[in-house]
Amino acid sequence: MRIVITGGAGFLGSRLAAKLLQRATLTDARGQVREISSIVLLDVAAASPPDDRRVRAIAGDLTDRESVARAVTPDTDTVFHLAAVVSGQAEADFDIGMRVNLDATRMLLEHCRSLKTPPKFVFTSSLAVFGGTLPDPVPDDAPVTPQASYGAQKAIGELLVYDMTRKGFLDGRSLRLPTVTVRPGKPNKAASSFASGIIREPLAGVDTCCPVAPTTTMWVQSPRTVIDNLIVGHEAPASAFGQTRSINVPGISVSVGDMVAALRRVAGDAVAQRVRWEFEPAIDRIVSTWPARFAPVQGPALGMRADADFESIVRAYIADDM
């Protein structure tokens, strides 16, 4: 079985590859359990693949047809589409957000459906497809009302995945991920980047600023659990889906103040005191449009799960990335 992961050089892409290697098998679009023989990591930046003969990295722009064709060959069985321009950057630069998050996604889908045997397609969407006035908590059938460019681009991607699936062009599913924290590495341009920074930087002995109020509440999930849920979404049979292929992935609702309190319980006062509160309206405008509580039903029915609490998320980061 041949698998392609776009955004394969990113921390989720690399973790997904490692988990798939450990798992060794997946179910293809025909419902057959197959041994994983090849994983291709496609990213604009060169990935550092695991030392495993089954893994190959391809550096290429997802907006370039030749790069996509070089990675997604006719024998590809599954595509995990993780690559995207993050929320803050998509809002600040409308054109690059549309080019990468929408145009490249459509081109990738079109390429997949052109193959003699189209692959199974897993699209990482976002809770940012929701916004404005919504029920609290948000049910699975809530209207999609994005309030920022990133959410709008993800919502359009979901509709493309669903319509191509409805037409029988491929077997797609869109997984609306919570905010993923704690992300290792350096801060990025995502509006939610601070949700990792207020844990990661203090644990590394670095002062950091939180740009939103302590009362700001977010729907979050750890990298460990996100990877598990991506695989659950892939493995779910087509018969398990109803009139949509878009799934609200389970998470936990936690305020930013409670995130710092969890850090304090795990690492002590000195570490937690490295978080300073400096309000940034541009970040708050984006984050405040995201719902903070969901009531997912279909995701858990498929076998997806949430983390136990935020303290366990902090401990998982220390165990996995420090």
Give yes or no: 317 in active site. Answer: no
Residue type, position 198, single letter: I
Report long-range pairs for 90-94 (Cβ below 8 Å, ≥24 apart).
90/148, 90/149, 90/150, 90/153, 91/148, 91/149, 91/150, 91/191, 91/286, 92/189, 94/149
Q: Which has the closest alpha carbon to 160: 172, 148, 142, 145?
A: 172
Q: Which of 80, 121, 130, 150 is catalytic?
A: 150
| CA distance linking residue 99 with residue 96, whole number of Å | 5
| CA distance linking residue 219 with residue 127, whole number of Å | 8
Q: Which has the closest alpha carbon to 299: 177, 199, 206?
A: 177
Strand partners, 166: none
Q: Which has the closest alpha carbon to 299: 218, 242, 255, 224?
A: 242
Hey, which bits of the chain come out as E strands? 2-6, 25-27, 33-35, 38-43, 55-59, 78-81, 120-126, 138-139, 171-177, 179-180, 208-210, 217-221, 246-248, 252-255, 275-277, 294-295
Contact 62, 72 (CB under 8 A): no
Give the angle subtended at the CA of 299 by the CAs of 297 and 301, to the nearest 5°: 70
| CA distance linking residue 123 with residue 5, whole number of Å | 10
- Residue 211: φ, ψ to 5°: -85, 0
- Please count the CA atoms within 13 angstroms of the CA of 176 that sit on its side-chain side: 34
Point out the residues that are catalytic. Answer: 150
